[in-house]
Structure 1
Amino acid sequence: MSKTFINDNFLLENKYAEELYHNYAKHQPIIDYHNHLPPQEILDDKRYGNLTKVWINGDHYKWRAMRTLGINEKYITGDASDKDKFMQWAKTVPYTMRNPLYHWTHLELTRYFGVTDLLNEKSAEKIYEATSEKLSRSNYSCRNLLRKVNAEVVCTTEDPIDTLEHHQKLAKSDFEVKVSTAFRPDKAILIANETYNDYINSLGKAANINIETYQNLKDALKSRIDYFHQNGCRLCDHGLNQISFVAFTESEVDKIFEKKIKGDQLTKEDVLKFETAILLFLAEKYHELGWVQQFHLGALRNNNHRMHSILGPDTGWDSIGDYQQAEKLSAFLNALDSKDKLTKTIIYNLNPSDNEVMATMIGNFNDGSVKGKVQFGSGWWFLDQKDGMTKQLNALSNMGLISCFIGMLTDSRSFLSFPRHEYFRRLLCNLLGDEIKRGELPKEEIEWIGKMVSDISYFNAKEYFNF
């Protein structure tokens, strides 16, 4: 059994990288400004009882790996026992070498549970029993898992129809970690969806508005944005294939919405005009309230129709899309900027071939009004790994100012995912430490480089979001 794999200098290849990490990054608090964690579990201070419940259930990264190895769905999303599911995951882990899951798995076992053995079929029983015993204790409850990683802010993601009741109660509690939310109105934007009209009915009930016209829809969304704002929300998030931008008139959009409500067929042009109009409307409202807007672009979702029909969305059937991004994104941002209504903006891409596109796009709209106003977001989803994060850092460094970067987030549904911040910080420090060693950065400026590391790890996000 290895007890040295996840050691103090994991991923740090020289003394400069070690100094940067241990002196400037390691002890910074975590601001996790985008994730999909369930706020009720934080409110209830849930205890999980075993690793399957907190670590495997809901984690489609692990599920994809298990399916690739030929493990039956019974042990993934099926009715097998928690222990049997864990044993099958343990069987999978040695086969994940060179996939980020191998690093994340052992980093998380070490940081949360002090487990330094490598996870495999032989060690699985011992690790399952030891971690289950710990997870049954009060000091391994949901809130204590956040305390263990020095979390300062956790920002979940909610639909406009959400009551935010859990956030309201958390705001009144004595829990020292700030739990905020991000407004995610995509279901109101994606008018081509078959369930769109059902969703509009739900939105109308939440806003107490009978939505029969496009103006009614805008009024309902405005009402919900105001409600979220009153409850401390200062961010939105959009998960879109690409930004739509075509010319439209308000009367055209009125008629398009009317057609949809009546159940008439929409043309592709109708859909694009509607999506353009509603997204611009929302973005102007975000600017009015001083929110940060986030755009996650480029996923090709629900590719396996057979399995999607059985298991539903977010179960591991998505991939990278190859959409054209630059022209429409530029036009969208420019339309807002031309009216001085472009708020702070973070753009994440899922296709690595778009890295340089995004790194240069943000420079078009950083107008000197705010430090790092428009951000190229960290490596996301399939790019949330060593190679993907390093390429994002290099593209941003080469074409922008890495010193203004707001750093990492988990985008996760698991309360054991927060060591990804440590993973990112180690990669950042190793990248800079290697350049110091090679003479590409001055070693006599290591304190300044260290300050940059601290800023990227924590202080830039703290200033940017002003939580």
Structure 2
Amino acid sequence: MTQPAHLHPDRLFPASEPARSHARDLYPAVKDLPIVSPHGHTDPSWFAGNARFSTPTALFLTPDHYVLRMLRSRGISYDALGIPRKDGGSIETDGRKAWRLFAENYHLFAGTPSKTWIDHSLQAVFGITDELSSGTADRIYDAIEAKLGTPELLPRAILDRFNVEVIATTEFALDTLPHHQKMETDGYIGRVRTTYRPDDVTDPSRPAIVDNLKTFGELTGENVATWSGLINAHRNRREYFRRFGAVATDHGVPTANTADLSAPEKQALLDKILAGKHDAADAELFRAQMMTEMALLSVEDGMVMQIHAGSRRNTDPLLFNERGPDLGADIPGPTDYVGGMRALLSRCGNEPNLRLIMFVLDETTYARELAPMAGYWSSLLIGPPWWFHDSPQGIRRYLDQVVETAGFYNLAGFNDDTRALLSIPARHDVWRREVCGFLGTWVGENRISRSSAQEIAAHLSYQAAKDAYRIK
């Protein structure tokens, strides 16, 4: 009987010998290393409440925009999948029916990383080796449902099971962090951390930016109508987030543009934003200036700054108005890191306390911009393949384009950047297998020694992320 591809021990390893043999030899030493997940979007309420997941659909389907967007691309309604509407309109409330619809269309995911992650999760967590399909949908649903009520499938137990040493959630500047407060009260601290994402008060393209800034001032007790008061408000919130383990900030921006305006120019720009009289160019300039301000604050407090640039978010106005953000309608665009980052790096790029991790969806920048930049600036590291490129092929393209210029030690290791809890071990396994495959090829070509490959594989699988994010 042919073994299913997703269960084959050599999956994702190089097809040719001796590279495959070297990859096989490298993998066992990194396979079970602790998982460091320093950036992601899992729901902190899972870990605070530590309650069972309601249905298999809530675990695998509802939170995963990779899955949702593929189904939508084939004309499958979000109503039928049970995705809530802003207007409270009718949607499918039977999780089993939504699951059946997902299973009937699971063939759509052939060749995608989503299938790799889901297959891995079904096998590793639930012992399910059958392919998800219309014929197996109910049987797999029942098998998952039966285990969801067991202690080993509670969120904190899942972290234990997969040896997750640390995991970071991501919250906005106006979030009061109630779930992290509860974990602190419970004494469950250190493993689950927050991350400061100030986009809700730094991005004037958001419809509620004026109200958000007003709330920001009330929350911090600062006069955000002045530029100095605005920056003090960020200083205040960053300190609060650090109380709950934050070691990093995160900035989801459409471009990598930065600016270094004079004090009068900054105040005039803020006045325009607060008056609601800004246009798209003003919004871009404000975001650009705030990137530099966040870097200067990182020089002060040592928080690692992550720039996730290049996503055109919520490009379907119908979906956004109907259901809200982050449901699959985000599309990559070109990114200029060299020109965009010039102002920030000119101002503080040589500061020894600055640590900045660059993520990009425009793969053309890897060899042309990111690798040369990280290969010079001591403050810069290259983040792993992100979003659409967090995949076997994406990881291969990434390593092939950045390593020869930036080396292995200017890379930030791996983070999974996911909303789907059970995909975390799967994603890290794909990264570790691809790292071993890449290094195995180089050992086979006598480009590096086997001992160096072993050291680098362990570094990129575990220690690099801890070092990059200054996690002690």
**TM-score, scaled to structure 1:** 0.92
Contact 1:245–1:332 (CA under 8 A) maintained in structure 2: yes
Residue number in structure 1 paired with 2:467: 463
Report the Cα offset of residue 195 of structure 1: 1.4
Question: Paired residue for 2:109, among 96, 114, 134?
Answer: 96
Report the Cα offset of residue 331 of structure 1: 3.2
Number of positions where the alignment pairs a residue of Structure 1 with one of Structure 2: 455
Report the Cα offset of residue 292 of structure 1: 0.8
Cα distance in structure 2, aligned partners of 1:447 and 1:326: 35
Cα distance in structure 1, aligned partners of 2:49 and 2:375: 43
Question: Paired residue for 2:384, among 378, 384, 388?
Answer: 378
Cα distance in structure 1, aligned partners of 2:410 and 2:10: 26
Contact 2:259–2:344 (CA under 8 A) maintained in structure 1: no
Instruction: Output aligned runs, 1:46-445, within 5 Å.
Output: 46-76=51-81, 77=83, 78-173=91-186, 175=188, 178-246=191-259, 248-266=261-279, 268=281, 270-337=282-349, 340=351, 343-356=354-367, 357-366=369-378, 373-418=379-424, 419-437=426-444, 439-441=445-447, 445=449
Residue number in structure 2 paired with 1:449: 453
Secondary structure class of the residue paired with 2:341: helix
Structure 2: tracts of 5 or more residues without a match: 15-19, 84-90
Relative distance call for 1:307 and 1:431 in structure 2 (3 A) is same
Cα distance in structure 1, aligned partners of 2:346 and 2:376: 9
Cα distance in structure 2, aligned partners of 1:342 and 1:245: 19
Report the Cα offset of residue 215 of structure 1: 2.5
| Cα-to-partner distance string for 1:153-211 (whole Å, 9 max, x where unaligned) | 00111112222232233245454871111110112221243311011122122212343
Q: CA RMSD in A?
A: 2.1
Contact 1:35–1:412 (CA under 8 A) maintained in structure 2: yes
Q: State the one-letter code of the partner of 2:420.
A: S
Q: State the one-letter code of the partner of 1:399.
A: T
Find out whether 1:10 has 2:11 as its counterpart.
yes
Relative distance call for 1:421 and 1:161 in structure 2 (3 A) is same
Moved more, 285-294 or 428-437: 428-437
Contact 1:406–1:458 (CA under 8 A) maintained in structure 2: no
Residue number in structure 2 paired with 1:26: 31
Contact 1:146–1:415 (CA under 8 A) maintained in structure 2: no
Moved more, 101-110 or 29-38: 101-110
Contact 2:414–2:465 (CA under 8 A) maintained in structure 1: no
Structure 1: tracts of 5 or more residues without a match: 367-372
Relative distance call for 1:84 and 1:151 in structure 2 (3 A) is same
Cα distance in structure 2, aligned partners of 1:176 and 1:241: 33
Contact 1:253–1:273 (CA under 8 A) maintained in structure 2: no
Cα distance in structure 2, aligned partners of 1:163 and 1:21: 42
| Cα-to-partner distance string for 1:206-239 (whole Å, 9 max, x where unaligned) | 2123433222212211111122223332211101
Cα distance in structure 2, aligned partners of 1:51 and 1:320: 30
Report the Cα offset of residue 113 of structure 1: 1.0
Secondary structure class of the residue paired with 1:153: strand
Contact 1:259–1:266 (CA under 8 A) maintained in structure 2: no
Secondary structure class of the residue paired with 2:238: helix
Moved more, 105-114 or 168-177: 168-177
| Cα-to-partner distance string for 1:246-298 (whole Å, 9 max, x where unaligned) | 45211121122122222334472x44443333322221111111111100011
Residue number in structure 2 paired with 1:370: none
Q: State the one-letter code of the partner of 1:19.
A: D
Secondary structure class of the residue paired with 1:53: helix
Contact 1:20–1:429 (CA under 8 A) maintained in structure 2: yes
Relative distance call for 1:393 and 1:409 in structure 2 (3 A) is same
Residue number in structure 1 paired with 2:88: none
| Cα-to-partner distance string for 1:288-327 (whole Å, 9 max, x where unaligned) | 1111110001101111112221121101111111243321
Secondary structure class of the residue paired with 2:170: strand
Q: State the identity as a percent.
A: 26
**TM-score, scaled to structure 2:** 0.91
